[in-house]
Amino acid sequence: MSASGKCLCGSVSYSAEDVDPHVHACHCSMCRGWTGGPMLAASVGSIEFKGEDKLKRYQSSEWAERGFCSDCGTSLFYHMKEPGMYIMATGTFDDPEQFAMSGEIYIDEKPSGYNFAGDHPRMTGAEFMASIGVEPPPA
Ligand SMILES: [Zn+2]
Ligand SMILES: [Zn+2]
């Protein structure tokens, strides 16, 4: 499906194609720090942005950056540079009703004070990395 979205103030907007309606919640400490809570996200096949002069990209690791609006601060996306995949914060889509929770990742980093309901898969960070074929870094 295709979907459009924008930041809180509207300075940055986007239209995406091949949008995956399956939402994953990420509980990792980086997503928590960046969004202020668990990140609810869905991947898209391709995306075009408007207002790119207001779109800031924070290099959060060697392989990924996180995009946000420099006016209102909305957390918009996680961008894996190789293979160039955008994973959008689902709260920024114009029609969030199209999405449904289908999994949680980094469940081992989730604070114990809250839980999402539902009978979906819950993976630890190591299980998630293995599922996408990434070797865990040496301890
Ligand atoms: Zn904004
Ligand atoms: Zn995360």
Q: Is the link from the previous residue into 138 a cis peptide, with omega within 30 of 0?
A: no
Q: Which ligand is nearest to the CA of 74?
A: 1
Query: Which candidate, 8, 52, 58, places its Cα nearest to that of 34?
Result: 58
Cα gap 44→80, rounded to integer Å: 12
Single-letter amino acid, residue 99? F
Contact between 107 and 116 (Cβ < 8 Å): no
CA of 34 to the centre of ligand 2 (A): 9
User: What is the reported pLDDT for 137?
Assistant: 62
Cα gap 32→98, rounded to integer Å: 24
Q: What three-state secondary structure class fits 84?
A: coil
pTM of the complete model? 0.92
User: What is the reported pLDDT for 139?
Assistant: 57
Cα gap 37→90, rounded to integer Å: 13
The predicted-structure confidence for 63-89, as pLDDT tens digits, reads as follows: 899 999 999 999 999 999 988 999 999
Which residues in the chain come in under a pLDDT of 50?
Answer: none
Cα gap 86→49, rounded to integer Å: 12
Domains of the chain with CATH codes: 3-111 (2.170.150.70)
Cα gap 74→101, rounded to integer Å: 21
Single-letter amino acid, residue 77? F
* % of the chain surpassing 70 pLDDT: 97
Contacts of 138 (CB under 8 A, 6+ apart): none
CA of 65 to the centre of ligand 2 (A): 12
Q: Which ligand is nearest to the CA of 60?
A: 2
User: What is the reported pLDDT for 136?
Assistant: 63
User: What is the reported pLDDT for 138?
Assistant: 61
Single-letter amino acid, residue 56? K
